[in-house]
Chain A
């Protein structure tokens, strides 16, 4: 099913939940709504579900405006963060509830519930009470209940945030596989960007009720259009420096009291267009410690002092201070960096981002 949101807004008295959200979702696509807590993800989702009445704008399914259509007539299935199972019913009772409300025959209900339960791997738990299930099993029941209706649109509101990290990983893959196999158009709300990056065909990044960006994951990562997107997408987050862009013998340089780096011609030129101060962003993986693989390069190397070392397993996340400017860098374990060490760093400025400090828009992509 094709979904279009056109200037969709919701406000309560003086609280704004969603502010003129416009986006379209093509048939069979999985779109993630990504953003920090309170940015309006759930609000938007509940408007699509028909639970909240929009205060402005329209929602269309396959070209038909559905603003006035009741939730039960929208052909949707929804999975909640709290699972929202009915605790006084058995697993069978929960999954079969939508079908019983459709007044289907006993035989058909049984068949369809069994089929969905088997698909979710809970086929042998149908007689259990909800309270007798683990969190992961409850999650599967909730998913089964949403799927049994054979909906045209699946809505997920942070479905995995109550599961432990390992189970989250498994369920992530399982949901994605199911969604692809069944080809159901889906909206997946999350504040976990790894989840969004790995599962979604496209990601809608939201902040304070406003849609900040809507694009494929790689584009959001490599070509962020706003400072917010650059800062929010990517883990560990991008490093930002206040710099001046100066022209020096035909070379563009990013300069501040602490930093002096040569920029590639194309990016430097665009960054210089703002004439004066800009915010430069460099991702942790684009700053490398000088070594065999990364020889020092003229104009791209700076020295700093390690102030924090956080072991992440395969790598260390090292906090480095260059003349009082802090940044975070991913360093290979074998380098054995310790607090207090002086380190030479090579900056890959061909992947650096530049933002106007006033508008917070990208000077490269906006």
Chain B
């Protein structure tokens, strides 16, 4: 089996002289630090800007042009209901995507990887080709689909045009090709023997998938969940197109309204909202990172 092996041993290079080894390391670290400086500076500005009235470079400035003028007024929006409703909508879209894409990709990926059925190859190529179509090209068509869904009695209101459910549905569909291919790749790498052993041990095919195979692809599920969550959380085009008004707006749409509504734009406010928007992502990352980093731990010996 080739799935989860330990990292290959480093090629045994001859030991470098101590001094040269050290210089080499300093050089490498120096280069790496230099290259991330712009990014770190950018984030630093973002954080500083949220608590300043104005900034020059990285320094907060008060009305007289001197250093100072720290304020929390940029964060006043957290007492406004609109942001919380936008956040809830973002959360709904992101969570619905993680669940929807997760279920469809793990089951679909397994079937495409392990089962033989007519049209399997065609389906695989088709999903790839369709993935090449950008969401922008499909907006009109999707609009008609959502209108149609909205006319379905009872559930129509939750999944039709101008509903959070409808947006989530579209986002899930757009994300599925990537998810299915990703999970198929993970399943492809699993040994058949483990699956055969479980069948002989008395498991049904569904149980094999659920109890034996899924636990092996946990890192894949974690990676997919994280990606999908980010995509859902930052979704702009689809929510912007298929929702009207603030009630169903999500965070990016809300942020955009902020920029276009207020004249002149208060960039410090925008920075605060932007930072606020990142908090759930960071929390989600903390929860999944252990699984993500686990990719190369444990496994089966042999081939």
Q: A-side interface residues toward B, CB under 8 Å?
A: 46, 49-51, 70-72, 74, 76-78, 80-88, 97-98, 101-102, 129-131, 135, 138, 145, 149, 162
Contact = CB atoms under 8 A, between A and B. Distances in A.
Interface string B79-115: 0000000000000000000000000000000000000
Contacts of B193: 80-84
Nearest to B298: A131
B202 A84 contact: no
A78 B299 CA distance: 20
Contacts of B197: 78, 80, 84-86, 145
A76 B216 contact: no
Given A87-B4, A87-B216, A88-B215, A82 B199 contact: no
B300 A98 contact: no
Contact of B302 (A72, A145, A162): A162
Nearest to A78: B200
Nearest to A101: B202
A62 B216 CA distance: 38
A83 B201 contact: no
A83 B301 contact: yes
Contacts of B302: 81-83, 135, 162
Nearest to A86: B212
Given A46-B196, A78-B197, 18 more contacts: A50-B199, A51-B196, A72-B202, A72-B203, A76-B200, A80-B197, A82-B302, A82-B303, A85-B197, A86-B197, A86-B212, A87-B4, A87-B216, A97-B198, A98-B202, A101-B202, A130-B300, A149-B201
Given A72-B203, A84-B191, A101-B203, A162 B301 contact: yes
Interface string B226-267: 000000000000000000000000000000000000000000
A78 B193 CA distance: 10
Contacts of A86: 194, 197-198, 212, 215
A46 B197 CA distance: 11
Contacts of B201: 72, 97-98, 101, 145, 149
Contacts of A76: 200
- Name, among A83, A135, A162, the residue most crowded by chain B CB atoms within 10 Å (CB to CB): A83
Interface residues of B, number: 24
A173 B287 CA distance: 49
A186 B300 CA distance: 25
B205 to A, nearest CB: 10
A81 B300 CA distance: 11
Given A49-B196, A86-B212, A88-B215, A102 B202 contact: yes
Contacts of B58: none
B183 to A, nearest CB: 17
Contacts of B212: 86
Interface in B29-63: none
A135 B194 contact: no
A85 B303 contact: no
Contacts of A84: 191, 193-194, 196-197, 300
Contacts of A51: 196, 199-200
The 10 closest A-B pairs by CB, nearest first: A84-B193, A101-B202, A72-B202, A82-B302, A84-B197, A88-B215, A131-B298, A98-B201, A80-B193, A162-B302
Contact of B298 (A74, A81, A129): A129
B199 A72 contact: yes
Contact of B216 (A78, A80, A81, A88): A88
A72 B300 CA distance: 23
Contacts of B300: 82-85, 87, 130
A76 B201 CA distance: 8
B1 interface: yes
A72 B298 contact: no
Given A80-B193, A82-B1, A82-B303, A87 B298 contact: yes
A82 B191 contact: yes
Contacts of B303: 81-82, 162
Interface in B170-191: 191
A138 B196 contact: no
B196 A78 contact: yes
Given A82-B1, A88-B215, A138 B200 contact: no
A135 B215 CA distance: 22
A130 B298 CA distance: 8
Interface in B158-175: none
A135 B1 CA distance: 14
A246 B109 CA distance: 68
A141 B256 CA distance: 60
